[in-house]
Structure 1
Amino acid sequence: MRAIVYEEFSVLPQLRDIESPSVPAAGVVIDVEATGVCRSDHHAWSGHDSTITLPHVPGHELVGRIASAGPKVTNFRPGQRVTVPFVCGCGRCRWCLDGNAQVCPDQTQPGFTHFGSWADQVVIHNADANLIAVPEELPASAVVGLGCRFATAFHGLRVRANLHAGETVAVFGCGGVGLSAIMIARAIGARVVAIDVSDAALDRAREHGAQHTVNASGKNPDELSVEVVSQASDQCPDGVAVSVDGVAVSVDALGREDTIAAAISSLAPLGRHVQIGLLAAPPVFDMSRVIGLELSVLGSHGMAAAAYPEMVDLVIAGKLRPQDLVTNVIGLEDAPAAMVALGANTGTGMTIIDLGR
């Protein structure tokens, strides 16, 4: 089969012919219809993920059809159209049984713990616990992002931060996951301040529902947090501008120490910070503020398959439109260049790889 392979970190991947995978007893082999180009792929390719064994095939966001199923798979069959969370649980531990497979100690992750979906086929382990059936009528562009960025943002805002209608959320970084967070926050009924250094990204944020935007160029974290809080003050209901102490929820969708510092400084007392962006090294931030204002610092590491029905139903109903984030569709041969381009941070949307191109 065709696959994108890299044998060294940060060295241009190559399109190659490699052996097709064998189906595990409790897993499936999926013919990949389309797959995403995600910043997490770039982190792994850059050597920031200790789970990677070289040579490696990236890719963890996907939609496709089951080509073969192992003898222990009972809930799915060949030919079904499916997607999968990028974190796949074992299906047996207490975390999985409680519906929290995204923190399973024995998790597998396509594109990280084993070869991923930048290929004609990909293996998914423990299929009964991890696959999600996908309606035929949904375009691939509406499904691919559900595996990682969209599910991670949904879980972070809906579950971890318990975001309510009428609250204000500040989203730092308006790439794929940041725009997903903006769309989800608006669907919940929250008000959104979007922050980025790119005017093009901020234009996209407004298109997807951000009421206010802040260009962070040239601002230190303290200056940036002041402007974010000022914008939040202008978002109060009925057009009445009143002074506020900060936003209810902040999201770092970029993964930088300075944006985390600004996000935490933007929070009101009892505010909740959701960390989605991955970092190359542990950040330093104002823990005294976290303690004094009783702030919550929350991680979001994907979402278990068991929690997908609510999100998928919103997509089917058209209340959430992940396909609107797709700005570029490429073929598999274009994927190596797309990997390198992720490091330039120039995109304002989502790129997907169409395996049929």
Structure 2
Amino acid sequence: MRAVVVEEFGVLPRVQQVGEPVVGAGGVVVKVEATGLCRSDWHGWQGHDSDIVLPHVPGHELAGTIAAVGEGVRGWAVGDRVTTPFICACGVCEQCVEGNHQVCPHQLQPGFNYWGSFAEYVALPFAEVNLVRLPEGLDFDTAAGLGCRFATSFRAIHQVGRVEAGENVVVFGCGGVGLSAVMIAAALGARVIAVDTNPAALELARSYGAADVVHAGPEAVREILELTGGGARVTMDALGSNEIVQDALRALRPRGRHLQVGLLPAGVQLDVSRLIGQELEWLGSHGMAAHSYPEMLDLVASGNLRPQELITRTIGLDEVPGALDAMTAGTPAGVTVIRPQGITA
């Protein structure tokens, strides 16, 4: 099969012919019809993830059809249309039994722990726990973006952040995660302020429901405080940087809630005295379990959530190395979807 292969961290990957994955007991092999290009893939390519062993195939948010079913897998068959969370949980540990698959200590992540979906086929472990059946009306391109960015934002905003109608929510970073968060928070009735350096990303944020947009920079916090009458109830770092974290915490009103979704490979400095004195909440959020998908899928089916509108570009495997490299200069506006089987009209 054809796949994008990273042979050296930070060096442009190449599309190569490699062996197809072999189905394992309890797992499946999926023919990848669509897979998203995510900033987490860029972090992995740069060597920010200690789980990655070279050579490596990135890719962790995907949708496709089952091509092979492993021994012991019940309820799934070749040809079924599926997606999966990027965190493939074991299903039997204490956290999984309690329903917290997204923090399973035995989790396996395609594109990080093993070869991922920037390829024509990908293996998925623990299939019965992690596969999500796609509704007939949901296309592969849209479904691919659900497994990481959209589902992550849905759980962060709705379940972890507890966002309610009427609350001021500030989203820092308007890539795929941030724009998803803008759309979801607005659908919940929140007043959303989007912050980014990219004017095109801010325009997209406005079209997805942001009431106000702020250009990131030295005056951003002052503008947010003015727009919110003293600070937001909820802030979210959807990109991952120490500077954003500081702005996000300073933009909160007392007893506000900060959501950290963006990765922070270089670490972060926290003003703990401010966290204590203002009774601020720092909330980490990491993906979403497969069993939590029905509520999100129902909102997509009803039209209240429109993840398909986030897709701004569709490319083939040969364009992936260049697209990955371009992320070094910043996260592009919207969501880029890769079709490993080739672009078709």
Which interval holds the TM-score relative to the shorter structure?
A: over 0.9
Structure 1 partner of 2:82: 82
| Aligned-residue offset at 1:224 | 2.5
Aligned to 1:148, what secondary structure does the other structure show? helix
1:259 equivalent to 2:255? Answer no
Q: Supply the distance in 1 between the matched residues of 2:247 and 2:161 (Cα, whole angstroms).
A: 18
| Aligned-residue offset at 1:173 | 0.7
Aligned to 2:145, what secondary structure does the other structure show? helix
Structure 1 partner of 2:253: 268
Written as runs of structure 1 = structure 2, the 5 A alignment for 1:194-213 is 194-213=194-213
- In structure 2, give the amino acid aligned to 1:3: A
Match of 1:316 among 301, 313, 319: 301
- In structure 2, give the amino acid aligned to 1:127: A
Structure 1 partner of 2:223: 227
Q: In the TM superposition, what whole-angstrom CA distance separates every residue of 1:237-283 from its partner, at most 9, and x where no partner exists?
A: xxxxxxxx311100001101111101011111111100111122110
Written as runs of structure 1 = structure 2, the 5 A alignment for 1:336-351 is 336-345=321-330, 347-351=332-336
Aligned to 2:233, what secondary structure does the other structure show? strand
Structure 1 partner of 2:46: 46
Structure 2 partner of 1:236: none
- In structure 2, give the amino acid aligned to 1:28: V
Gaps of 5+ in 2: none
Q: Supply the distance in 1 between the matched residues of 2:293 and 2:138 (Cα, whole angstroms).
A: 15
| Aligned-residue offset at 1:346 | 5.3
Residue 33 of structure 1 contacts residue 140 of structure 1 at CA under 8 Å; is this kept in 2? yes
| Aligned-residue offset at 1:48 | 0.3
Structure 2 partner of 1:296: 281
Residue 63 of structure 2 contacts residue 141 of structure 2 at CA under 8 Å; is this kept in 1? no
Aligned to 2:170, what secondary structure does the other structure show? strand
Percent identity of paired positions between Structure 1 and Structure 2:
53
TM, length-normalised to structure 1: 0.94
CA RMSD in angstroms, aligned pairs only: 1.0
1:132 equivalent to 2:132? Answer yes
Q: Supply the distance in 1 between the matched residues of 2:48 and 2:278 (Cα, whole angstroms).
A: 33
Written as runs of structure 1 = structure 2, the 5 A alignment for 1:94-173 is 94-173=94-173
Residue 259 of structure 2 contacts residue 283 of structure 2 at CA under 8 Å; is this kept in 1? yes
Q: Supply the distance in 1 between the matched residues of 2:295 and 2:331 (Cα, whole angstroms).
A: 32
Q: In the TM superposition, what whole-angstrom CA distance separates every residue of 1:160-191 from its partner, at most 9, and x where no partner exists?
A: 11111111100001111100000000111111
Residue 170 of structure 2 contacts residue 193 of structure 2 at CA under 8 Å; is this kept in 1? yes
Structure 2 partner of 1:191: 191
Residue 168 of structure 1 contacts residue 192 of structure 1 at CA under 8 Å; is this kept in 2? yes
Q: Supply the distance in 1 between the matched residues of 2:281 and 2:77 (Cα, whole angstroms).
A: 42
Residue 36 of structure 1 contacts residue 61 of structure 1 at CA under 8 Å; is this kept in 2? yes
Structure 1 partner of 2:58: 58
| Aligned-residue offset at 1:75 | 2.3
Q: Supply the distance in 2 between the matched residues of 1:199 and 1:6 (Cα, whole angstroms).
A: 32
Gaps of 5+ in 1: 234-244
- In structure 2, give the amino acid aligned to 1:232: T
Residue 35 of structure 2 contacts residue 141 of structure 2 at CA under 8 Å; is this kept in 1? no
Q: Supply the distance in 2 between the matched residues of 1:7 and 1:29 (Cα, whole angstroms).
A: 24
1:353 equivalent to 2:325? Answer no
Q: In the TM superposition, what whole-angstrom CA distance separates every residue of 1:112-163 from its partner, at most 9, and x where no partner exists?
A: 0000000000011000000000022212232111110111111111111111
Aligned to 2:329, what secondary structure does the other structure show? coil
Aligned to 1:343, what secondary structure does the other structure show? helix
